[in-house]
Amino acid sequence: MQQGKLVILVMVALITACHAKQKSPPTQVVYRFDDHRYLELTGYHCEGGLRYIDTERNIQHQIYDVSDGYRIFTKTFIHPSERYIAITSYEGGGFAISKDYGKTWDGASYSPGGGAIKYGDDRPQREEIESFTVVNDQGFMLTKKGDLYLSSKPFDDPRLEPGGSGIDYTYTYRGDTSKHHLEPINSSVGSLWGKNYVSWISIQLQDPWQTFAYQTNFQNIPNKVPEVKNYKGWDHMRCNPDLGLEASEQQK
């Protein structure tokens, strides 16, 4: 009899544990752009899936699945821009972007060779980042040393669009000047504005080391983050790492 009770107790314990493991991960708002646009994260320990929601335009898009293990960006994050949306993660090493108010999404990255030091790293490391601001349909990543990485202005250079003339430019290296030509993109590539991030210094000096310098959408950009006025969103992502956890599992 005692043995039978023991078997039942073990079975109940196993069923209870099984149900506990099957419970859905918690969802919380981790960022608000304004009163109708926000980001939701689904997962434990502030890691999981990320969803963009715009209640005014009736847009919902799953940017990252729970299995992707997205981790929130912890630096200053200011994002009044509506058409161009750029989301970075914990490391700040790349971007999920939308150029149509969040309806469709793509990726953006730092351009190879486009770092603030010629022949140095292409991008800033997480510990070097001060803030990420997305305003006027452009992204601006600022480092603690004052280096600025940015995306293009929100249009494509018509000379590089399919059927365009291309761009002639000269490049000087160790006193030798050579002529080069940028060809128009293939029609299958699509619009490229907002998809490449480069350091300001790599394109704005007299002798730039990035060919983006010759494109009109990367020209005449001040070496500073534009001022943001009357911003109503959050200035950091926020997340409760204990949400959905048992008391014994929570951080002390």
What tens digit of pLDDT does each residue of 144-171 get? 999 999 999 999 999 999 889 999 988 7
| Boundaries of every domain in the chain | 111-230
Lowest model confidence (mean pLDDT) among 72-81, 183-192, 212-221: 183-192
Per DSSP bridges, beta strands 129-135 and 27-32 are: unpaired
In one-letter notation, the amino acid at residue 107 is G
pLDDT of residue 39: 98
The pLDDT of residue 23: 78
The confidence band for 22, taking pLDDT boundaries of 50, 70 and 90, is low
Residue 251, phi then psi, degrees to nearest 5: -70, 140
Is residue 228's pLDDT more than 50?
Answer: yes
Tell me if residue 202 falls in helix, strand or coil: helix
Q: Look up residue 225 and give its two tokens.
A: 């983050």
Lowest-pLDDT choice from 28-37, 105-114, 125-134, 239-248: 239-248
- Does residue 10 have a pLDDT over 50? no
What percent of the chain clears pLDDT 70, i.e. is strictly above it? 89
Q: What are phi and psi of 39, to 5 degrees?
A: -115, 135
| % of the chain beyond a pLDDT of 90 | 73
**Contact assessment for residue 153 and residue 218, using Cβ atoms and an 8 Å cutoff:** yes
pLDDT of 4 reads 52
Beta carbons of 108 and 86 less than 8 angstroms apart: yes
Q: Which of 26, 27, 93, 23 is nearest to 60 (CA)?
A: 27
Q: Which of 208, 201, 206, 211 is nearest to 181 (CA)?
A: 211
pLDDT for 61: 98
Contacts of 162 (CB under 8 A, 6+ apart): 184, 185, 186, 187
Question: What value does the mean pLDDT take over residues 64-69?
Answer: 95
* d(C-alpha 20, C-alpha 10), whole Å: 15
Region of residue 169 (left: phi > 0; alpha: psi -120 to 50; beta: else)? beta
